[in-house]
Structures are given as structure tokens and as C-alpha cells.
Amino acid sequence: MEEEDPGSDDEFSAKGQKAQQKSRGCVGRKKKLDPALQGLMGEAHLRFARGDVENGKKMCLEIIRQDPSAPEPFQALANLYEEGDDIEKGLQFALLAAQLAPPDPDEWSRLADMSLEQGDVKQACFCYKKAIEADPANSKLYFTRCHLLEQIGDKKSALRCYRKLLQNMKEDQGAEFLEGSMAAARLLHEQDKLYAAQEHFDEAFTRFPSLISDFDIDLFLELLLMQENYQHALEICCQHCGVQFSCDASDQNIGSLDPEQQLKAFTALVVPDTLAAEVKCKLLITLIYLSAMHLTDTLLDSFVEASPEDFGDMLLDISEALLKNKQYEKGILFFEKLVNSESYSQAAVWLQFGECLELAGRLEDAEEAFKQVVSLAPNHYKARLQLSVIMRTLGRPEDALLALAQDETGEMLNPHLLFNRCQLLREENKEEEFISKAKLLFSRHFVNIRNKEELHAVSSAKRISSKNKALNEVRNFRREPLDET
């Protein structure tokens, strides 16, 4: 575990820093004042009670002069200023007093609240840190401090604080340990430290399995799928979700097989009806990636019948998994439901649908899907390229050329489309149009020489800058535009 750096994430007042330096070595037990100073302290309290504030202050300052490590005069002055509505000054004296006194989590929490009232979040973080040092098992202090650190953008220190929380939680604080583990995993996930995040989940699931909820399982499975750790995801489903497999009675030695062979030997999958739909979805995706399609029929049927408006994100995840694992016909069933829904009839979904249809060999249907993509997103050049390829495969080169056409005067030209159009024109032996489009393609890299005067001007100059200058002079003289259309 990473140790917390005391000075890395907390900024507080200069007075507080000085008091911290003075108080090193005296934390743990209260230092007693010299008897003479005790009498003076008592007299100062008496003066404050009688309203003789100025003399009371002078007595406190005298005690501080003679014994700067005593907390009593600082606390007395803090109370005086707080009661007099000078909260900021009272807070500074209270911080000094708390530094010098034995650790008191309640006092540090109070000072943290006062700091927040003054808008000083960093100082509040420091106060909560001192409160944690005084009461390391108080989970509320950790969570409050971590939230404040995240609020000011110091996620590195928040992660260290969560890790210290996990170190100090007792066995009867399982709920707090689980919450801290999830929070630490979330921060690690944001930093793309997925394996470190997985370690926190694994520890929490191992230590407190009875406290794990479907929501926690769903988060862990999401993390494992992102890492493509499908075998571990399946183990989590079996250990915490009641998922079971069955096989033929003749397979007596299935326990000696490796996990991949075991999956092939299983003949049926038992999934509890009460299992959350999100977890069922991730179980199905896990089985798809583990090439256990013979165990997925029941789960696939249940999701095919689901409403895209209610379960669209899950259906899309399943569709993508089927597409990536070459289960095209099954993937088409899901994509069809999605593109025929109101919420998911979008260009990105139509694009994947078209790819799935094309890979399944259904080129005519794929053509219609890609046309829909172009209709929804006219600037999506990859869809237009693929549409052109399909039309060419279907024996319609003219349509293929038309799919690559661009408005050369009204839109930003895409070089990919233009290059593929040049290739297709050359294959179709349309030389004049090929030369025209090729010149257009190269026009962003080469200067178009319009006449003999420009040719002579460019060839006479040696440097590039001189060539450009000469070319502009000719065009200015001829009153022609300097740039190409």
C-alpha cells in the first residue's frame, strides 16, 4: 500500500505550520503549565469573565511568551474571538491550540467545519487528516476528507486516503471497507490502472462476500470485461451469482480438465431468475467471448425478446460481442431490433448492422444499411467507401462511383473518397475523368500552373519563396485570383 505524504495534499495557515513545528514531540499527553503560569491562566479566565478583555489578552500573551508550547492560552484566545464574531482569527488560535493539545478527533472535526464555513477547503482537509490520526477507525472522517479532496481535484491524495481507510478498517466494518474499495477502484479506473482497481475488488469480494450486491458485481464484471479477463468474470458469476453448469453423467473426469475444456464439456447453464439483468447481460457476453455459444441459447432468447427502449444498451453490448466473435446471424437479430427502435436508429448502430450483414454475406441488405448510414451522417466517409465496395461487388460500378461523389464546390473534400474514386475510374478506363480527379487530389500538394507566363515565372526562380512570389506577381498582373478554388 502507498503511504500518505503528510505535506502533499494539505495547505494551511503559516501560524498553523509554526505551531505544528513547535509541538513535535509533545503530541500524546497534555503538558502541564508551570504553577505560576497556571495561576496567571486562571487570572486571565477571571478577567475575561468580568469583561476585562484587554488585560486578559495581555496575560494570555505573556503565558505564550514564557511557554509557547502550552495550548491553554491559545484556546482561551480562540474562544474569546469566536464569541466576539471574529471567526477567522478565532479559528487560527484554535488551530494552534489543537496542534499543541493531545489529539482530539472531535475538536479537529469542529475546526474542519469552521474552515469550510470560511471557504478554506484545503485547511478543512488538513483538519480532517489530523482527526483521522486521532481516530483511525472512524470511516466517516475518511469519506468526508476524500470527498473534499476530490472536490478540489486532488484525486491522488484522495486515493491515498481511501487506501489508508482500507488499512484501518476492522472486521466488523465490512460495509465501510466495501464502499472504500469501490471508491478506490473508481479512481484507479479513471487513471486507467485497471489491474490495480481489480485488486481492490478482489479483496473486498474475498473478505466480505455476504455484503456484495448485484450493483457491486455489475461494476466488477464491467471492469473485468474491459480487461478481457473473461475467465475471472465467469468465476465471479459462479461464486457470487449462483450461476451453475451441468454436464452428462458420463463425464466423470470433468474436474480434471482445464477451464476451456470444461466449458466445452458442459451441456447446460443454470441462471437464477432473480439475477439482475445487467449481470445476466455480462454473463452472456463472457460466454460469447469464451466461445461457449452452446450454453447461451436461453440467455440469448431472453434478451432478443427484451424491449430496446428499456434494455437498449445491453442489447447493443451483446450485438457488438456477437459481431466481434463472428456470430453474424445471431448478431443480425439484435441489430434489427435496435435499428427499428426509436432510440437506437442511429448512424453508429446502422454502421455496425451493415458490417454484420456484409460479413454474413447478405450484400443487398448490407447496401441498404450503409445507405441509411450515409443518409444519417453524410460526412461518414467509411460508410460511403464500404457502400461503394458493395455496389462494385454486386456488379454496379456506376453506382459505386456515384457513392464516392462529392460536391467539389460546396463541401470540404475527403481525400479518402477522392483517392478511391480515382482508383475506380482508372479500373473503369475513364481516363479523362481520372486525370481530372487525380489533379484535384494532388492540388493540395502541388501548384496548378495555369498558363505559359506562370510556367516561365516559376521555372526562372530557384528558391521556393521566390517561385511563390513570382507566381503571385503574374496572377496580380493578369488580375486573376491568387488561390485555387
Mean pLDDT of 197-221: 92
Beta bridge partners, 270, equal 244
Give the Cβ contact number of residue 141 at 10 Å.
25
Q: Which of 58-62, 162-166, 445-449 has the highest mean pLDDT?
A: 162-166
* Predicted confidence (pLDDT) at residue 423 exceeds the cutoff of 60: yes
Give the Cβ contact number of residue 401 at 10 Å.
19
Which phi and psi (to 5°) does residue 228 adopt? 60, 30
Distance set, CA 70 to CA 53, 107, 147, 439 (Å)? 20, 17, 34, 87
Residue 45's pLDDT is 74
Residue 82's pLDDT is 80
Q: Which value, in Å, is the radius of gyration of the alpha carbons in the chain?
A: 37
> What average pLDDT does the chain have?
84
* Predicted confidence (pLDDT) at residue 369 exceeds the cutoff of 90: yes
What confidence tier does 321 reach under pLDDT thresholds 50, 70, 90?
very high
Give the Cβ contact number of residue 335 at 10 Å.
26
Side-chain-side CA neighbours of 309 within 13 Å: the count stands at 2
Under 8 Å between Cβ of 173 and 204: no
* Predicted confidence (pLDDT) at residue 66 exceeds the cutoff of 90: no
Choose between 12 and 266: higher pLDDT: 266
Residue 254's pLDDT is 61
What confidence tier does 154 reach under pLDDT thresholds 50, 70, 90?
very high
Q: Which residues of 211-237 are buried (b: 16+ CB within 10 A; e: fewer)?
A: ebeeebbbbbbebbbeeebbebbbebb
Identify the CA nearest to 344 among candidates 362, 365, 378, 319.
319
Give the Cβ contact number of residue 165 at 10 Å.
27
**Helices within 293-430 (DSSP H only):** 297-304, 308-324, 328-339, 347-359, 363-376, 381-393, 397-403, 415-427
The amino acid sitting at 323 is L
Mean pLDDT of 207-235: 93
Residue 61's pLDDT is 86
Task: Give the number of residues written for the chain.
Answer: 485
Which phi and psi (to 5°) does residue 269 adopt? -120, 135
Under 8 Å between Cβ of 457 and 471: yes
Helices 53-66 and 71-83, packing angle to 10 deg? 150
What confidence tier does 65 reach under pLDDT thresholds 50, 70, 90?
confident
Q: What percent of the chain has pLDDT over 70?
A: 86
Residue 419 burial (10 A CB sphere; 0-12, 13-18, 19+): middle
* Predicted confidence (pLDDT) at residue 435 exceeds the cutoff of 80: no
* Predicted confidence (pLDDT) at residue 175 exceeds the cutoff of 80: yes
* Predicted confidence (pLDDT) at residue 67 exceeds the cutoff of 90: no
Identify the CA nearest to 424 among candidates 406, 397, 448.
397
Under 8 Å between Cβ of 377 and 344: no
Provide CB contacts within 8 A for 471, sequence distance 6+.
447, 454, 457, 458
Beta bridge partners, 268, equal 246
Distance CA 380, CA 17 (A): 59
Q: What percent of the chain has pLDDT over 90?
A: 50
Residue 28's pLDDT is 46
* Predicted confidence (pLDDT) at residue 18 exceeds the cutoff of 60: no
Torsion of the alpha carbons at 158, 162, 168 and 169, rounded to the nearest 10: 140
Give the Cβ contact number of residue 152 at 10 Å.
14
Q: Model-level pTM?
A: 0.73
Q: What share of the chain is helix, strand, coil (3-state, %, to 5)?
A: 70, 0, 30
DSSP 241: S
Which residue has cell 441489430?
A: 335
* Predicted confidence (pLDDT) at residue 5 exceeds the cutoff of 50: no
